[in-house]
DNA sequence: ACAAAAGTGTTTAGTATACACCCATGC
DNA sequence: GCATGGGTGTATACTAAACACTTTTGT
């Protein structure tokens, strides 16, 4: 065979998306470094890092996410590997890598996504010294090919959600209104949905349970809350 | 950060599926080695190998497939990375790896699939000294976690084909009969299809063109041939 | 003439889409 | 009382599923 022994580096990167009832947000790591002129800069990257020698990919993803952001106990789903040879060749990125670890030629990264409720409980677990939620539709240029990785994550999530609608409910609070749910679907599928048809749809889904509880103190008719019934969902497919 | 420098190895593996008009087949590399008692064995693995230091993943997949089987000019689609830490720990596999290259702790592999017409032209390009087509439903135990990788490839292909039906036609000859097409769908989706409904369906798809040509010399009513019109397909979605 | 596979229509149920007005609440 | 978002029903078009017999060809 005699293939040259490739000695590459492997990392994992996590695209953690959170919905706050209004918009989709992504969890980013703060990164600071020097550019080629020695100027200090601060920008953002996905939480990700090299894996250990003897560690499952999935375990590495959980570990790295926890270490870099404080977030733990979320379901991470592998969706794609990124191994273009120029993905780490931007000068700023090269400098940053050299500061962080030995000279690295190229890093193949295995990307994971996770969908979470962006509520106050979760807000607290995020270490804001080093990590930050940013609106998905207002992202600047991220490190490496991380903008691309996020775009691919969204595609993967759409595909996945088509086969397993339960996925989406990870983004919603336990009690959610029909319009929160609808807005979320509109964002994910980038498509307007008819309000009446949407109500009709959810009313005939056995796993979306209307509650007696309603919104409080809003300056308009109070919306009903619903909840997602995991058991009923599993039973219905 | 101070993450220990992981020094892992990266490979690509290719799941090339071919349809011969009757059944789905997968292209395998022959492998021979010694087991722990020094006994010689011969078994099969997916065509795959370590990547070069400075090579795109996608390029590596094409190169490796060509080198190990002779097959080139096929579309390879990345679908999943496999990095369980015990995926290379079977004793037979450990011995084989040590013979082939330096001691390797763990290999993360990026898996690709490809769908091809298994016709005589392709048969000729396969180097039968080192590679061989085997029926998908009659596979034995393959090296490493390659049975798992093939199963995951099928799942990925189903998902992908739902979004892009053109994919399936890579498996069919240029001229195909309705029942070849139907049998293929039945195999891929593991589900019987109603013959009449199937005919109705394809008759109303603008990109499946009925030809005047029919089967020759069959001991029953000769079936009509159809072809897939790529242009009409792209136009229709 | 018989074996073997090809080909053909109709009915029914369910799902997706389009569309406009009244309701409840806080200020 | 008005601004704001919540909530409701019907008609139509399309798609999916169930179902059995006749046709063509070689032996």
**pLDDT tens per residue across span A190-223:** 999 999 999 999 999 999 999 999 999 999 999 9
pLDDT at A102: 63
Mean of the pLDDT values across residues A122-147?
94
Please tell me which residue of chain A has the smallest CA distance to B81.
Answer: A81
- Read off the pLDDT of residues B172-222 as tens digits, 9 standing for 90 and up: 999 999 999 999 999 999 999 999 999 999 999 999 999 999 999 999 999
CA closest to B50 among chain A residues: A6
**Does the CB of A202 sit below 7 A from strand D?**
no
- Spell out the domains of chain A, with CATH numbers in brackets: 9-167 (3.90.79.10), 173-235 (1.10.10.10)
Tell me what percent of the residues of chain B surpass a pLDDT of 70: 95
Average pLDDT over residues B30-53: 91
Residues A110/A55, Cβ–Cβ less than 8 Å: no
Helical packing angle, A178-189 and A146-163, nearest 10°: 120
Question: Model confidence over A190-199: pLDDT tens digits?
Answer: 999 999 999 9
Token couple for B168: 């399936």
- Spanning CA of A234 to C1' of D21, the rounded length in angstroms is 41
Residue A100 has what pLDDT?
76
Question: What is the average pLDDT score of chain B?
Answer: 92
Q: What would you report as the CA-atom Rg of chain B, rounded to the nearest whole angstrom? A: 20
For B11-30, the pLDDT digits (tens) are 999 999 999 998 999 999 99
Q: Is the pLDDT of residue A5 over 50?
A: no
Distance of B25 CA from D22 C1′ (whole Å) = 36
Q: How many CB pairs under 8 A join A and B?
A: 111
Alpha-carbon distance of B91 to B110, in angstroms, equals 22
Query: Treating both helix axes as pointing N-terminal to C-terminal, what angle do B178-189 and B195-203 enclose, rounded to 10 degrees?
Result: 110
Residue B102 — pLDDT band, cuts 50, 70, 90? Answer: low
Min distance A148 CA to chain B CA atoms (Å): 16
Strand D nucleotides within 7 Å of a protein CB: 3-10, 16-20, 23-27
Protein residue with the closest CA to the C1' atom of nucleotide C15: A201
- Under 8 Å CB-to-CB from A1, ≥6 apart: which residues? B49, B100, B101
What is the predicted pLDDT for the residue at B235? 80
Q: What is the pLDDT of residue B8?
A: 66
Contact yes or no for B56 and A9 at CB 8 A:
no
CB contact at 8 A, B177 and B111: no
Strands (E) in chain A, as ranges, are 9-19, 24-34, 40-45, 48-50, 77-82, 107-117, 131-135, 176-177, 208-214, 224-228
Residue B180 three-state SS: helix
pLDDT of residue A4: 39
Q: How confident is the model at residue B7 (pLDDT cuts 50, 70, 90)?
A: low
Query: How far apart are the CA of A85 and the nearest CA of chain B, in angstroms?
Result: 5
Of A109, A65, A66, which Cα lies nearest the Cα of A85?
A109
Nearest nucleotide by C1' position to the B197 CA atom: D17
Contacts of B83 in chain A (CB under 8 A): 10, 51, 56-58, 60, 110
DSSP reduced 3-state for A116? strand
pLDDT band at B78 (very low <50, low <70, confident <90, very high): very high
**B120 beta partners:** none
């Amino acid at each position: 065979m005699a293939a040259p022994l490739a000695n590459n580096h492997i990392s994992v990167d996590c695209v953690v998306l959170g919905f706050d009832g209004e918009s989709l947000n992504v969890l980013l790591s703060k990164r600071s470094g020097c550019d080629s002129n020695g100027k200090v800069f601060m920008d953002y990257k996905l939480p990700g890092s090299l894996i250990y020698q003897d560690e499952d990919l999935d375990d590495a993803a959980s570990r790295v996410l926890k270490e870099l952001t404080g977030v733990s106990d979320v379901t991470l789903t592998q969706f794609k590997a990124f191994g273009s040879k120029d993905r780490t060749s931007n000068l700023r990125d090269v400098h940053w890598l050299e500061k962080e670890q030995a000279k690295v030629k190229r890093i193949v990264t295995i990307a994971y996504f996770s969908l979470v409720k962006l509520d106050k409980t979760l807000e607290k677990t995020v270490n804001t010294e080093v990590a930050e939620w940013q609106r998905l539709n207002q992202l600047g240029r991220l490190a490496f090919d991380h903008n691309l990785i996020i775009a691919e994550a969204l595609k993967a999530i759409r595909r996945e959600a088509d086969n397993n609608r339960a996925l989406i409910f990870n983004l919603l609070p336990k009690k959610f209104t029909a319009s929160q749910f609808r807005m979320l679907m509109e964002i994910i599928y980038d498509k307007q949905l008819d309000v009446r048809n949407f109500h009709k749809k959810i009313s005939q889904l056995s796993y979306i349970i209307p509650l007696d509880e309603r919104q409080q103190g809003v300056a308009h008719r109070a919306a009903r809350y619903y909840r997602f019934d995991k058991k009923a969902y599993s039973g219905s497919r």
